[in-house]
């Protein structure tokens, strides 16, 4: 098929329009093959909520040298009844928000970071997240920070939306082993 000047002009205009629209609507970065690129999606409040909870859980002990986060959502921390999973996009955005934490890494197998001594590899903590429950302005999220056989924190974090975003405002039911 021979392209006429009109067809070439229409094709160029269509590509320009798509690129202009994509650039204008891009809001959040997404990691694709190791690099961050724009995405035209609506902001995901779960990203900010989970980032706030992970940051708070990571601070339950001051000596953690590595933070491992299980990529599944587990309603009960004591059972392996995990029903949901964080998407690659959510994981990339949460990791970017927590880039200041020491050695942050997502894991798909909790046992992969547990040492034979029952401690967490690299002097770290394994954080497991529960589902987000609540309203548009206040939520609760259960989370476990496991650091060894006799080192774990089971907490329900209270998270509220403010003008500056989602922030942990407290916790309930803190149990420490």
pLDDT tens by residue, 19-56? 333 333 333 344 334 343 444 456 789 999 999 999 99
Q: Which pLDDT does position 175 carry in this prediction?
A: 66
What is the C-alpha to C-alpha distance for residues 69 and 130, in angstroms, rounded to an integer?
Answer: 12
Name which residue leads in pLDDT, 1 or 167. Answer: 167
- The angle that helices 88-97 and 45-58 make with each other, rounded to 10 degrees, is 50
Q: 39: closest CA among 73, 87, 72?
A: 87
For the chain, the domains span: 5-39, 45-176
Q: Which pLDDT does position 78 carry in this prediction?
A: 57
Q: Which pLDDT does position 174 carry in this prediction?
A: 67
Q: Which pLDDT does position 41 carry in this prediction?
A: 53
pLDDT tens by residue, 109-168? 888 888 888 788 888 888 889 999 999 999 999 998 888 777 878 889 999 999 999 999
Could you tell me the pTM of the whole model? Answer: 0.71
The first and second tokens of residue 37, run together, are 């690129």
Q: Which pLDDT does position 177 carry in this prediction?
A: 55
Q: 177: closest CA among 140, 146, 135?
A: 146
Average pLDDT score over residue span 53-73: 87
């Amino acid at each position: 098929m021979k392209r006429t000047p009109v067809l070439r002009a229409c094709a160029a205009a269509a590509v320009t329009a798509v690129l202009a629209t994509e650039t204008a609507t891009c809001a959040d970065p997404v990691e694709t093959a190791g690099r961050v690129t724009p995405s035209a999606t609506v902001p995901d409040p779960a990203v900010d909520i989970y980032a706030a909870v992970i940051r708070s859980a990571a601070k339950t002990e001051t000596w953690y040298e590595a933070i491992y986060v299980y990529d599944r959502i587990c309603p009960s921390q004591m059972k392996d009844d995990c029903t949901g999973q964080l998407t690659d996009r959510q994981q990339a955005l949460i990791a970017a928000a927590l880039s200041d934490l020491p050695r942050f890494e997502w894991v798909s197998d909790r046992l992969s970071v547990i040492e034979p001594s029952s401690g967490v590899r690299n002097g770290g903590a394994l954080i497991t997240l529960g589902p987000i429950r609540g309203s548009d302005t206040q939520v609760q999220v259960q989370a476990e920070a496991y650091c060894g056989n006799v080192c774990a924190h089971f907490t329900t974090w209270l998270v509220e939306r403010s003008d500056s975003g989602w922030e942990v405002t407290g916790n309930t039911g803190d149990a420490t082993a």
